[in-house]
Structure 1
Amino acid sequence: MKVMNNPIRPITPWRETYRQLLRSVGSRGPALRKSLIGLFLAAALQGLALGCIVPLFIAVLSRPDADAARFWLIAMSCLMIAATVFRWRAQAFDYDGSMAEATHDLRTLLGEQLRRMPLEAIQDKRAGEMNATLLGNVDENLNYTLLILNLILVALVTPFATALFLMAFDWRLGIALLLMFPAIVPLYRWRRPVFGANMRLLADAHERTSADIVEYTQGISVLRASCSAGLKAARLQAGFEHLEQIQTLGHRKSSKPDILVTSIVEVGLMLIFALGVVWVLGGTLDIAILAAVFVIVVRFADPLATFVVYTAILELIEAALERIETMLAVPALPQKPAAARPESHDVMFERVTFRYVQASTPSVTDFTALLSARSLTALVGPSGSGKTTLTRLLLRHADPQAGRVLIGGVDIRTIPPDELNSLISVVFQDVYLFDDTVLANVRMARPDASEAEVEAALRAAQCLEFIERLPQGLNTPLGDIGGRLSGGERQRISIARALLKNAPIVILDEPTAALDTESELAVQRAIDTLVQDKTVIVIAHRLSTIVGADRILVMEEGRLAETGSHRELLAAGGRYRAMWDAQQSVKAWHVGAIPSGEQATVS
């Protein structure tokens, strides 16, 4: 797989990164700001403490003075203790749990954003990509922040404070050391954009690999059945290879420049020491000061040389901040001022037109239909005709670009989201159950429901027979996506959930299509209980299941092609009649006998 080069982005000012960081910790921003100030002061005090080596060496080596030596030794010790206290108190943001709480709050905020975001925006993301944002990016944003900023401050502020202190004893060496900082700036500006591009490319690769791993894990049974597990899982292997290539490319591109940057800084420090040697030999510099500068240069060589490398990790934090802010910036669907609560539960699609963001043509075009309250309306038509899109618009996964969807004459955009959700129950063809107990999976429809009410819903949904066979009954964990149960059993649990919710509008998305005859009969009995006195919308492909519908809407290419009862549509001889005849003819197919030496024929 070819590794694409990431474009070099403009350098984000540290001021903006600082603001993003404070925004990410929310109400704990002042505490984090206080911690960063503490780290700055600790680095400055540490620099002053190291600067005390100069007068201490003078008092010991050049002009022996016990009192002066004692004073500077005590001063250096006090400054180091003060620096340690400031650093310890600053890092209490980590130690006292504030960082963990900020991380929790940020994940909670992202979770709330997930609930507000249009589902269309979420559906464009793979599960692993969302996992990378909610887990990996949050951790990268916060967990290493104080550690990295402490290293950067020690690499910059500490030697700067020492250089200022040194100027009081020899202005030439002080200025020479201060000049190292302007020298580092071009190195920093040279390397940081490259670091930024590499880190964002690496973050993209990690996100993709995370998505591939989640997809592989969820689909392992299918992959094994198709002999595509292990090394034959091409997509996952390609993702691993892509990640490896990016990591290798990053190391290759950064190794030589990093060595060059380190060498330049270390050579610069050695030149400062060499200048000191020249001045000592010329009689213009005290050798004790030179000895002190030697200690200082050795102390600062490594932090200054690796400072530019630290910015690579800073870029990782910035990349995480950008991803988090991008997700938080997705606007929620606009909520119009609340209107009166719907008094009835008929559903009206009024000249609705909707096109998905990634699509080139509308999925629904100028669709108008009234679905009467307490009636059964079926949506039929070929795949891609807009049936599921209509139900998603009713659930307000997205808003139409034109037209309105109304419940009881009330525009659903004026109904608060929680209230709208309480009005509609959905039984999907593909049931999703959580890795929790039977009781918890059903009770999520109405968290305040008693266990007796849950059992009543399960009984009505024909579930008690198979639940009694489970090891812990209602308290049996169902496994990932309900893997402990069969398809029909999962479907009945889903219906029990809808029964417990007892919403006035019910959407059935071909709930029996993939079931065997016995399971279909059990599910159909459960559905009969569910839909009593409800406004029911059925998405159907098998027309034989909806012959008793009060009204059938025939969809074709996003438009309403026909409408009427089963008998009326058959008599009309249009699109519905053609679909019915085609399905009836399929029932008459059989596999003929296979004469010796001949292939099977379908008659």
Structure 2
Amino acid sequence: MIRQLLKVVGPEHGRPVRRMLAALAVGAVLQGIAFALLVPVLQALFGSDPDSVWPWIWVLLGVSFLYCVAYYDSLRTGFQAGATLSRSLHHRIGDQVATLPLGWFAPERVGQLGQLATKSVMDIMGVPAHLLRPLVTSYLTPATVVALMYVFDWRLALAATLTVPVIVLVYRWSAGLTRKADEARTAAHAVTGGRVVEFAQLQPVLRVFGRSGPSAGTRGLDDALHTQYETSRRVLVTGVPGLISFALVVQAAFSVILVSGTYLALDGSLDVAKLLAILVLAARFTEPIAETAVLGSTLRTARSALDRVSALLEEPALPRPDDPRVPDGNGVEFENVAFSYDGTPVLCGVSLTMSEGTMTALVGPSGSGKTTVSKLIPRFWDVDAGVVRVGGVDVRDIDPEVLMSRISVVFQDVYLFEGTILDNIRVGRPTASDAEVREVARLARVEEIVHRLPDGWDTKVGEGGALLSGGERQRVSIARAILKDAPIVLLDEATASLDPENEQAVQEALSVLTAGRTLLVIAHRLQTVAAADQILLLDEGKIAEHGTHDQLVAADGRYAAFWTERNRAKRWSLAGRHS
């Protein structure tokens, strides 16, 4: 675990941890020496010349003083190591996250990342603060005690040595009993936490449907709580036999030394004073070992946290080109592109060309691969086969920062950061002045929102923009896209689920954003689709039809059926019931 801890911290931040380990090792050895010095002290006290104990007393005091110095140094470096761990782990996690493909950030991954950056980091911080000391002591102090026992009586030292393999085997067996159950319990706790948050978020829906009482829990939450209870009970049931067995074998080790010493004393080959002193030493041999049983669950929790952080740090980063190329223009091209999610094919042999300054509309049924096409252009993922080019260059050969600087994306689901509206718009170009930010806000009709808010431009938008409506968040998102001023714009259902007033405002903002740019639109609005320079109809991951609106309607194929259905839906109305 110590080796894994140093690996997670990284070589540049491992110095405080190594210093603490050195102080702990010195302290553990000095503690073992101090215990061993009890043998000559007790032997002198019970011998014929008690005054001969003083030299040993002074040596014992000197070793004890050195142990106190090492103990103090280990405490001080332990706090430094804990602070270093917190800082370095968050930096390493942040640096690693910044290199991962954007497609890695699925909703479930974001939740796991949040837990990893909080609870897992806290669990790891507890290693130098609370776990390394007993862990190092449980190994080095008994080893020092046994080594020094050979100085006083090799036979009892040998008896102690022979018990060590048995203790190690039983410890590993007892740890193995609860390892799987512990992992299941940790996973169950994570699921339950997510279900509790989900239950809180669902309160408006539950109350609207009359489920506001104490029994109005969701099925998922009930199942998660039951699973958590069962896994916790399983940890208890499987762990108790191991704990009892380990405690028994540690006591048995002391009994072996006691019986061996008694036999030697009765045989006359070992005097009683030395026997009593060595038995005190043997007790100090078993005590640190017994403490490891108490730490078992905590150690497994820390190891599990280390495993999760290690797994994140080992996630393959988005490959960067060794010799990056600069795109020549802003056209987009797909050539025989194939892509799959976890082995499930999504796109198969897709080829298309989006000429610079033109508008391309993607239409098709849900799950046909429209959003995937839009996410392969900014390289959220790398394709399984084929090539995606921007400006005639494979996106894998373009520096990621250069590629992203050329692309603005406006998705249906908008996330705003905690802060003011100005802060969120400035994300598009952090170096922009307040005047530039307010100008794009005017173009995106965000000013209308600001004038209605109590604190104007300084109004906080809340976590994820919760204090704004969906249409207002969309306008802020478009404003920051305008501020970025990228030559390629990707719109994924940007006006879906908006009320007519917000839709009109967003459409006017989009007209400013998309003017003269290479534009890819995923939309169902008839006006938007019909105005495109080319329309691609995707079905089952393939381009089923391709052409202009007039060409596709005249072809009387799938697009024509789509168009007819949309026109019919547009004329739908709710008829009132007459009595």
Question: Does the TM-score normalized on the shorter chain lie above 0.5?
Answer: yes
| Deviation larger for 40-49 or 100-109 | 100-109
CA contact (8 A) 1:279 1:285 kept: yes
- 1:60 correspondence with 2:58: no
Cα deviation code 1:467-503 (max 9, x no counterpart): 1232322222111221111111111111111111111
1:529, 1:494 → 2: CA distance?
13
Cα deviation code 1:201-234 (max 9, x no counterpart): 3332233334434444555544544556765122
1:504, 1:538 → 2: CA distance?
14
- 1:465 correspondence with 2:424: no
Query: Structure 1 residues 576, 328: closer, same or farther in 2, change over 3 A?
Result: same
CA contact (8 A) 2:82 2:128 kept: no
| Deviation larger for 54-63 or 504-513 | 54-63
Which position in structure 1 is the counterpart of 2:171? Answer: 188
Which position in structure 1 is the counterpart of 2:379? Answer: 396
1:104, 1:239 → 2: CA distance?
33
| Deviation larger for 220-229 or 434-443 | 220-229
| Deviation larger for 546-555 or 515-524 | 546-555
CA contact (8 A) 1:128 1:208 kept: no
- 1:85 correspondence with 2:69: yes
Which of residues 185, 208, 222 in structure 1 aligns to 2:191?
A: 208
| Deviation larger for 154-163 or 243-252 | 154-163
Which of residues 85, 94, 100 in structure 1 aligns to 2:78?
A: 94
Q: Which amino acid aligns with 1:28?
A: H
Q: Which amino acid aligns with 1:584?
A: N
Which position in structure 2 is the counterpart of 1:19? Answer: 3
Which position in structure 1 is the counterpart of 2:363? Answer: 380
CA contact (8 A) 1:173 1:276 kept: yes
1:221, 1:497 → 2: CA distance?
31
1:319, 1:438 → 2: CA distance?
40
1:349, 1:52 → 2: CA distance?
78
Cα deviation code 1:52-106 (max 9, x no counterpart): 111111222223342x32211121121122122223323433223x332233222
1:164, 1:329 → 2: CA distance?
41
Q: CA deviation at 1:390?
A: 0.5
Which position in structure 2 is the counterpart of 1:39? Answer: 24
Quote the sequence identity (%): 37
Which position in structure 1 is the counterpart of 2:339? Answer: 354
- 1:331 correspondence with 2:316: yes
- 1:549 correspondence with 2:532: yes
2:93, 2:505 → 1: CA distance?
40
Q: CA deviation at 1:590?
A: 3.4
Cα deviation code 1:290-343 (max 9, x no counterpart): 333443344454432233453443333332222222222222233334454223
| Deviation larger for 303-312 or 177-186 | 303-312
Query: Structure 1 residues 593, 38: closer, same or farther in 2, change over 3 A?
Result: closer
Which position in structure 2 is the counterpart of 1:268? Answer: 253
2:284, 2:96 → 1: CA distance?
47
- 1:420 correspondence with 2:422: no
1:167, 1:59 → 2: CA distance?
19
Which position in structure 2 is the counterpart of 1:429? Answer: 412
Which position in structure 2 is the counterpart of 1:241? Answer: 226
TM-score (norm 2): 0.92
SS at match of 1:536: strand
Q: Which amino acid aligns with 2:69?
A: V
| Deviation larger for 212-221 or 102-111 | 212-221
Q: Which amino acid aligns with 1:93?
A: T
Q: CA deviation at 1:146?
A: 5.5
Query: Structure 1 residues 311, 589: closer, same or farther in 2, change over 3 A?
Result: closer
Which position in structure 2 is the counterpart of 1:521? Answer: 504
1:553, 1:400 → 2: CA distance?
19
CA contact (8 A) 1:342 1:410 kept: yes
| Deviation larger for 215-224 or 28-37 | 215-224
How many pairs does the alignment contain? Answer: 576
SS at match of 2:357: coil
1:333, 1:226 → 2: CA distance?
46
1:227, 1:371 → 2: CA distance?
51
Q: Which amino acid aligns with 1:53?
A: L
Query: Structure 1 residues 476, 544: closer, same or farther in 2, change over 3 A?
Result: same
Which of residues 457, 473, 483 in structure 2 aligns to 1:490?
A: 473
Which position in structure 1 is the counterpart of 2:55? Answer: 71
CA contact (8 A) 1:54 1:166 kept: no
| Deviation larger for 275-284 or 391-400 | 275-284
SS at match of 1:467: helix
Q: CA deviation at 1:557?
A: 1.9
1:154, 1:36 → 2: CA distance?
11
- 1:288 correspondence with 2:277: no
Which position in structure 2 is the counterpart of 1:159? Answer: 142
Q: CA deviation at 1:421?
A: 1.0
| Deviation larger for 494-503 or 277-286 | 277-286
2:53, 2:384 → 1: CA distance?
80
1:330, 1:358 → 2: CA distance?
18
SS at match of 1:163: helix
Unaligned runs of 5+ in 1: 1-16, 597-603
Q: Which amino acid aligns with 1:236?
A: L
SS at match of 2:475: helix
Cα deviation code 1:25-70 (max 9, x no counterpart): 112334423322321221111011011111111222223342x322
Query: Structure 1 residues 330, 445: closer, same or farther in 2, change over 3 A?
Result: same
CA contact (8 A) 1:62 1:287 kept: no
CA contact (8 A) 2:16 2:77 kept: yes
CA contact (8 A) 1:61 1:288 kept: yes
TM-score (norm 1): 0.89
Cα deviation code 1:540-574 (max 9, x no counterpart): 12323332222222222222222222223222222
Query: Structure 1 residues 426, 34: closer, same or farther in 2, change over 3 A?
Result: same
- 1:575 correspondence with 2:563: no
- 1:179 correspondence with 2:185: no
CA RMSD of aligned residues (A): 2.4
Cα deviation code 1:174-195 (max 9, x no counterpart): 3333333233122123223224
1:519, 1:213 → 2: CA distance?
33
Query: Structure 1 residues 171, 400: closer, same or farther in 2, change over 3 A?
Result: closer
Q: CA deviation at 1:595?
A: 5.4
Query: Structure 1 residues 285, 480: closer, same or farther in 2, change over 3 A?
Result: same
Cα deviation code 1:435-484 (max 9, x no counterpart): 22212211111111111211111111101122123232222211122111
